[in-house]
Structure 1
Amino acid sequence: MSSETSDDESGSEGSPPGALDEATFFRTVAETASDPLAALDDEGRVVFANDAFRDLLGLSTATVVGESLRGLVDVEDLPETGECEAAVGDGRAVRLTVRTVEREGERLSTVTVRSVVDGPDAVEDDEETAPGGDSDDEDGEHESRALRAPRERYRRLLDAAPDAIVAADAETGEVLDVNRAATDLFGRTREDLIGRHQTDLHPEENVEQYRALFADHAETGGVLAEDEVEIVRSDGERVPVDINAGVTDLPDGSVVQGIFRDVSERRRRERELAAHRDELARLNRVNRVIREIVQTLVDAETREEVERTVCARLVDAEPYVFAWVGELAPGRSVVRERAHAGDGGGFVDVGTTVDADDEDCPTARALETHEVQVVEDIEATTAEATWREEALEESFRSCAAVPVVHDGRPYGVLTLYADEGDVFDGRERAVLADLGRAVGHALNALERKTALMSDTVLEVELQTSEHVPALIEEVGEDGRVTFERTIPTGDDYLQYVQVENISPERFETILERYPWCDGVRRIRDGDPAVYELRAVRPSITAHLATFGGRVRSAVVEDGAIRILAELPHNTDVRALVDGLRERREDIELVAQRTVPRSDHPDRARVSVEETLSDRQQATLEVAYYAGYFEWPRDSTAEEIAESLGVSSPTVHKHLRRAQGSIFGALLDRPDM
């Protein structure tokens, strides 16, 4: 395509035949641009502004052209090239993109308002003409003056445009001209681009698609913003773009001016946002299922019901496809399956029995560390183990092993599998860890409930000589220290101790050596003397509590500590002792026996506990062991309140209600 022009408006020297009139080219491209755009001379005065720029300021052409940009826009430091923040009109914050070119001693800049800092809605169309605007005739006069500037100025303006601009013959699709940003975008020289067919700019396998899109542009112009629109750089890299096209009719044909904007970063953010939304949606599903599971655990009657429910409900939550619960088999280093759900096929028979000593197996690691273990890509692991082979055979791609624990005591491990990789991120792991603790708590509660309903009680006698070595040494042959009761009160414990044949001063000096003793109060003088100790989580007492047991008594004499503990009848004594030995290596199991509850000296406590709240029971026990019911009293209500960290009226309220419950249970019986 060619055109006949005068010397003032002809193509620049060296332009190929058929190059556009650059004044027309620039003006059409600038007016086509959807972003506010202005051109500045080397003194910072506006020589051109498109409609979007004038609308942003609420001014007419005559008011804008010829004015200093600093008089129109509140900007502290306008860079030669780069971005800066500014304010326009009523104080709206915007971001300016400046690009400056210099040729033959003259400088020209383009200023584009690329984004509004306060959000996309901050710039709105304003149909009213700002006060002080000039008439349309004056607008035309100023615009004509700008467009009559030397054609070389338009080339500089074109090269200063921040976006890539490509002009092509509307009929043939031949590229007629490009600006400097286009050469940067495509990684080609201007000479290499001019003369190519417009489809050469895009992936070759989609030639027909881009030919049809160009035909649509040649007919109507407009914005083309689709995910599949890409250009190809000289090195073969594909870059996603948005194309804003305009059509100019010239005497010898029409020209399509396309403004290409690289949207790689925007598409990357969109993908990240979409992935984030998917992740949140999945996490919400998991959270909802886990809340439902926790609610179901409250009503569960057996351990088997708990485990089956957990597996079944989790498989209902995408993307989990298989779940199983296992525990360490007694006396063996094998994790055996207790319950499962989902489509596991042969995995149920083979993969759900794993070697607890296999360090590469997530199930074994979770059991050992009490922490959630994740394999994000099973196929990429190098472990040569049965569990991996069977998982891949079932098309499992990732897994998470969740320890089921309560207060440090392991009840087993829950293992989940998904048919896609990279499923278990940090937040999901935290949610699953909470689930493991919730299931452990439910199983512990069921054990306690079963123990209360059982007709028998398991008593074990333990012995250690290293638990409190200084105390053992100081007690000597004649002394005796009996820990009668340990009562949890929230963050710590109250221990009630009888001391025989040891002076108060000597005993209290011994206690100063132990960091676990956070306070001491002498309740009763004499022999035996009675003390109240405030203890920070006694290790043996706490461990017994995780098995639903309690210390009935602990006696220090004859160079050792003998502990008598009460436990549910079905307690795994070996696991109990192994756990204690992790705390005290010299713990020995001296004896164990099953006692009928009817013969048990504590049988009355079991029935009473069912009628009292935890706070009532703690208050009643502290009052009893602190001598509140003695005559005269060893402790006042105020002292009981101080020990419990509550007010005196609260102590009286709990004691009255506890006493009422106990007397009611005793006196309202049919046989009374």
Structure 2
Amino acid sequence: MTGTSESGTASGDEATVFERLFEHTPDAVLVIDSEANRILRCNDRACELLGYDRERLLALGPPDIHPHDYEVFEEFVERVRDSGSGFTAELSCHTRDGEVVAVDVTATTVRFDGDDRILAIVRDASARTKRERELRRRSAAMAAADDGVAVLDGEGAVVHANEAYASLFGYDDPEAIAGATWGALYANPDRFELDCRPSVAESGEWRGELTVPREDGDDVPVRASVTGLEDGEFVCVARDVSEERRRERRLTGLTEASRDLLAATDRDDVSRIAIRTVVDILGHEIACVRLYDADANELVRTVTSDAAAELVESALAYDLKSSNAGAAYRSGETVRNGSPTDEAYTDDPCRAEVHVPLGEFGVLSAFDREAPMGAVDVRLIELFAGVVRSAFTRAEREERLRTRRSELERRREELAAADRFNTLVTEVIRSVLRATSGAAVRQSVCDELAGSSLYEAAWIATVETRDDADAVTIDSSAVATGSFSETDEESFLTSPFARRLVRKAHDADTAVVERRRFESESRDEAESVADDESIAAAVPVACGRQRFGVLAVAGAEESGFAEATQSGLELLGETLGFAIIADRRRNTLIESDSVELEFSFESPLGDLSAAFDCRCDHLGSVTDAGDAHAYETRITHGDFAEIRAFLDDYPAVRECRLVERRGATCVVEITVAGAPPGLLAEAGFSLVSLHASDGDTRLMAEVPSDEDVTRVLDTLSEHWDGVELVAKRQTPTRRADLPVPIDGAAGLTDRQRSVLETAYEEGYYDWPRRHTAEEVAESLGIASATLHQHLRAAEHTLVSSFVDDERE
């Protein structure tokens, strides 16, 4: 290498010295042609620093070494040219491996091969830079740390502190506590000497809880750690844990509240506990729970805190942001916001709000008057809302279980009552069967009912047709007067309540159940009998279309008036009606004398008899279907087409069908709307004959001699037009001991005898029938019409034998 000084060419010894310094200096040395941006000379340390061999490095220029901060390099070279030398710590070099190495560069201008060049001494500054960066990071971290950090001297006095440390003691400027001793800062002054210093000496660190007394009287809990330094100083890191303590208290309170919530039995209890917790534990005095009302399709405010109730009451237009609550419910996500600060909202009593959905149950809302709620506050409310939602789910499940248990208990009670009632009905029916007269039947029913464990009173009454609530006649009764406010049986049966009950069941023609309402003139009197309130029920006494009054019962036991029991009472009313009908029929059969009543009335068959100068005889009923009834009628007119054409003009005639034609006589099946002749049987009367001739329809019925003719006339007039009593004849009852002819069955064919015996064995002649004609025919393998033909022929033969024998 050849170097030159400012005065000229250097001597050989100087060149040798320069060469040695250039090659063996511990720093990288470069000779740079700044004009050509070339590296003219480098030593081994430069190659080592940049990662290139000498040949490759000399082929590079400064732009290759400083590609990212070349402008800084140019500015530095310009300064060196102007002043002859310079220093910079702002450059870094790119190595062959792509690493960026921070460097310190010292440069000077030199004469090299007769030209001005830059001699640059480059020192690796990465270690220093790293230390400085670390120091700056630590300093910045200390200054920006949320925790308080202070350096203490050997006696525990503050040497340096950050703002966070100063704020623990109520100061804004860290310089305000510089020099302050441990004893002056903390509530327990001896703690440093007795606890901290020995622990640091032994293990290098101390951790513990401290208390900072404040001038405002509030002690601040602090969690601190003290670590020893090499020079005898200490580093103290302290943190205000008052908020942490508050959160811990909140969490403890929420845990206790969660236990209370999960023990709540219904929605109201859950709502009350939730609001109490939000106010007392979470510290939000304005809160409310809104539950979804499916029927109204809206959120209904169920429970509110006292402050919320006052707010709603004092500000009528303020609705606790129900629209935001609805948005939370619909979206299933928390809705929160702080109130705007412009003048339009200066009257808003709340500064912040949060609405947390409670699943399908509703929304929990909390409000703050002072400032927006922090993320921690919102998170705690959300966590608590999850517990509330679980409590609602559990309460709903428990409520369903309670309802189910109550329903099962109610059903058990109903079944027990039904069993008792069924036993009672069985006994009543037995007493009805044992009774020998209608009056005895009625009284027996009343005695059995009133003497049971279900009822204290039973009576049977009839109602007159006039609209007089007092027109109620008691036929039979049995009353345990000690169970009611009345002092005697008559007072109870004639009370307004009893009369109205009977009248209502009569008018409605169905079962009626009512609780007794006392007509007390004074409040004291009403209260004195409040414990004696009873329930009563009444059902019609009926058989088919016939009504014979009302059966009523009263008592204090609810089970005697359950839904199942009501249907049993209705059945009992029908049984009693049937017994009355049976009694009347029995009287008709066993009376030594009976009355034969003959009535005339208007009918299509009467008109038919006049039109064709024929006679129409009722042979019997065929079928009943709703309000339509089919009868077989023998008409002494041979042209069925004329008969059907004539009857088609009558709306009451639904259908007319030819059964058979016998010369000039037709047997016709006629279906008509209206009451059948069988209603006489339902009323307890016997139908003797029904025919029409000369334009007049005649009906003859046999009734007991003591029967009220007016009742019979009224019964017929309810169903037919123009009913008149034509004749009343006293006739002796047919003898029941007719002699049985020895050869009565001699005229039967084998087939008739077989069919008759089979019908008898199958119960066809029982009442009620055990098998129908269709069933008997099926068992014989013949058609129903064939069965009827054989039976009629056999019956005709047998009846003829009786009648003919009697006449002889």
TM-score by length of 1: 0.51
Equivalent residue for 1:348, pick from 471, 474, 489:
489
Q: Which residue of 1 aligns with 2:475?
A: 338
**2 CA distance for matches of 1:370 and 1:603?**
48
Q: Which residue of 1 aligns with 2:644?
A: 508
Q: Which residue of 2 aligns with 1:452?
A: 589
Structure 1 position 472, deviation (Å): 3.7
Q: Is the 8 A contact 1:615 1:654 kept in 2?
A: no
**1 CA distance for matches of 2:455 and 2:567?**
16
Q: Which residue of 1 aligns with 2:502?
A: 363
Q: Which residue of 1 aligns with 2:250?
A: 22
SS of the aligned residue for 1:163 comes to: helix
| AA in 1 matched with 2:506 | L
Equivalent residue for 1:405, pick from 507, 525, 542:
542
Q: Is the 8 A contact 1:463 1:590 kept in 2?
A: yes
Structure showing greater Rg = 2
- Structure 1 position 434 matched with structure 2 position 575: no
**2 CA distance for matches of 1:325 and 1:523?**
50
**1 CA distance for matches of 2:568 and 2:546?**
19
**2 CA distance for matches of 1:572 and 1:593?**
14
Deviations 1:461-500 (A, max 9, x none): 1012x333xx444533771323243235565766343434
Q: Is the 8 A contact 2:634 2:668 kept in 1?
A: no
| AA in 2 matched with 1:412 | G
- Structure 1 position 475 matched with structure 2 position 475: no
Structure 1 position 552, deviation (Å): 2.6
Deviations 1:391-423 (A, max 9, x none): x89956332221101011112211112237897
- Structure 1 position 308 matched with structure 2 position 443: yes
| AA in 2 matched with 1:163 | V
Alpha carbons of 1:263 and 1:504: their partners in 2 closer, same or farther (altered >3 Å)?
Answer: closer
Alpha carbons of 1:288 and 1:535: their partners in 2 closer, same or farther (altered >3 Å)?
Answer: farther
Alpha carbons of 1:559 and 1:4: their partners in 2 closer, same or farther (altered >3 Å)?
Answer: same
Q: Is the 8 A contact 1:617 1:658 kept in 2?
A: no
Alpha carbons of 1:109 and 1:504: their partners in 2 closer, same or farther (altered >3 Å)?
Answer: closer
Structure 1 position 595, deviation (Å): 0.8
Gap runs ≥5 in structure 2? 1-218, 224-238, 264-325, 339-351, 362-374, 746-758
- Structure 1 position 485 matched with structure 2 position 485: no
Q: Is the 8 A contact 1:406 1:440 kept in 2?
A: yes
Q: Which residue of 2 aligns with 1:87?
A: none
Q: Is the 8 A contact 2:674 2:719 kept in 1?
A: no
Alpha carbons of 1:539 and 1:108: their partners in 2 closer, same or farther (altered >3 Å)?
Answer: closer
Q: Which residue of 2 aligns with 1:323?
A: 458
Q: Which residue of 1 aligns with 2:385?
A: 160
**1 CA distance for matches of 2:581 and 2:437?**
11
Q: Is the 8 A contact 2:459 2:553 kept in 1?
A: yes
Q: Is the 8 A contact 1:354 1:364 kept in 2?
A: no
SS of the aligned residue for 2:478 comes to: strand
**2 CA distance for matches of 1:261 and 1:3?**
45
**2 CA distance for matches of 1:23 and 1:617?**
84
Across the aligned residues of Structure 1 and Structure 2, the Cα RMSD in angstroms comes to 5.9
The number of residue pairs the alignment matches comes to 445
TM-score by length of 2: 0.44
**Mapping for residues 94-113 of structure 1, pairs under 5 Å:** none
Equivalent residue for 1:379, pick from 506, 518, 524:
518
- Structure 1 position 417 matched with structure 2 position 554: yes
**1 CA distance for matches of 2:657 and 2:721?**
28
Structure 1 position 439, deviation (Å): 1.7
**2 CA distance for matches of 1:534 and 1:553?**
17
Q: Which residue of 1 aligns with 2:425?
A: 290
Alpha carbons of 1:531 and 1:656: their partners in 2 closer, same or farther (altered >3 Å)?
Answer: closer
SS of the aligned residue for 2:678 comes to: helix
Q: Which residue of 1 aligns with 2:34?
A: none
Alpha carbons of 1:360 and 1:339: their partners in 2 closer, same or farther (altered >3 Å)?
Answer: closer
| AA in 2 matched with 1:495 | Y
The percent identity for this pair of structures is 19
**1 CA distance for matches of 2:721 and 2:408?**
53
Bigger helix share: 2
Alpha carbons of 1:448 and 1:263: their partners in 2 closer, same or farther (altered >3 Å)?
Answer: same
SS of the aligned residue for 2:425 comes to: helix
Equivalent residue for 1:532, pick from 643, 665, 668:
668
Gap runs ≥5 in structure 1? 36-78, 85-97, 115-149, 166-180, 186-240, 243-259, 383-388, 621-636
Q: Which residue of 1 aligns with 2:33?
A: none
Q: Is the 8 A contact 2:513 2:561 kept in 1?
A: yes
Deviates more, 1:25-34 or 1:281-290: 25-34
SS of the aligned residue for 1:320 comes to: coil
Structure 1 position 350, deviation (Å): 4.3
Deviates more, 1:646-655 or 1:394-403: 646-655
Q: Which residue of 1 aligns with 2:169?
A: none
**Mapping for residues 126-205 of structure 1, pairs under 5 Å:** 155-156=380-381, 158-163=383-388
Which of 1 and 2 has higher RCO (CA within 8 Å, sep 6+)?
1
Structure 1 position 112, deviation (Å): 10
Deviations 1:433-486 (A, max 9, x none): 22211221232223323333333332101012x333xx4445337713232432
| AA in 1 matched with 2:388 | D
Q: Is the 8 A contact 2:462 2:550 kept in 1?
A: yes
Q: Is the 8 A contact 1:404 1:413 kept in 2?
A: yes
